[in-house]
Amino acid sequence: MSSYTANNDQQSPVNYEISSHGVTDTGHVRSKNEDSILVLEEENVWVVADGMGGHHAGDFASQTIINNLSLFKQHASLDDSILLLEENILNSNAIIRKKTLKLGRNATIGSTIVCAYVWRNLLFALWAGDSRLYRYRNSRLERLTEDHSYVEELVRMGKLNARDAEEHPAANVVLRAVGIDDELRIDFDYYELQDEDIYIVCSDGLYKDLEEAKIASIIASHTEDMKGLAQALLDASLAAGGTDNTSIITMKSRQKGKNV
């Protein structure tokens, strides 16, 4: 993980209010929903976990992550809060690995994760896999996370155009996820919040069926209502095919005490 040195004199955990809403759907193709989501506003935590489709007990993997993170209680210290989030994710990895061993040598259980945590004027992201965090600011949509996937590596190496990545035969191959290895490396970053920012935490079912330009246009039409935005994105994804489980959490930041 990257590191962030906190100013622990700042005891108040948030100086932004976050309104949010989460939805998840099986879609039109999959037989069950292996995604799980967590909207824990009272602790400033939002999580999407996408159980690895086509493997054994992907729903077990994603729900294990959510069960662990639902127990999170933020500390007065930012450092301690971030460390606890990481420990909960690593504990999930250990639980899933034990389940894998019980199922036998050929079993594979795993789940991607994106975890967003807000502290004062900062949003921290912890992730592994190809679920994503987006930010919509000043009418522009920006992806804040990098996929841990085979096609993303091809794009980074210049061997594949980003526009063609979702159509690649190996588009579903994830290189990093919770539960697939004994040692888990979690990516970490943080971003400064601004008033009226909108964040989208999602599984790959959303962006597989909807181009980012379409996602941006839907956000532009639903900037005030996070429940309405989440449902509009889900409805559009399902209308475009619903080819995978789709999970979406929408978040909007509103600054407290602007004139202070």
1 domain residue, yes or no: no
* pLDDT tens-digit series, residues 97-133: 999 888 876 778 999 999 999 999 999 999 999 999 9
122 domain residue, yes or no: yes
Given pLDDT bands bounded at 50, 70 and 90, which one contains residue 57?
confident
* pLDDT tens-digit series, residues 214-247: 999 999 999 999 999 999 999 999 999 999 999 9
75 domain residue, yes or no: yes
Given pLDDT bands bounded at 50, 70 and 90, which one contains residue 204?
very high
* pLDDT tens-digit series, residues 65-79: 999 999 999 999 999
216 domain residue, yes or no: yes
Amino acid 8: pLDDT: 39
Element containing residue 201 per DSSP (H, E): strand 198-202
**CA–CA dist 218, 230 (Å, integer):** 10
Q: Which domain holds residue 109?
A: 16-255
The bridge status of strand 35-40 relative to strand 132-137 is unpaired
CATH number where 118 lies: 3.60.40.10
* Cβ burial, residue 197 (10 Å; 0-12/13-18/19+): buried
Domain count for the chain, please give it.
1
Amino acid 52: pLDDT: 87
Say what the pTM is.
Answer: 0.88
73 domain residue, yes or no: yes
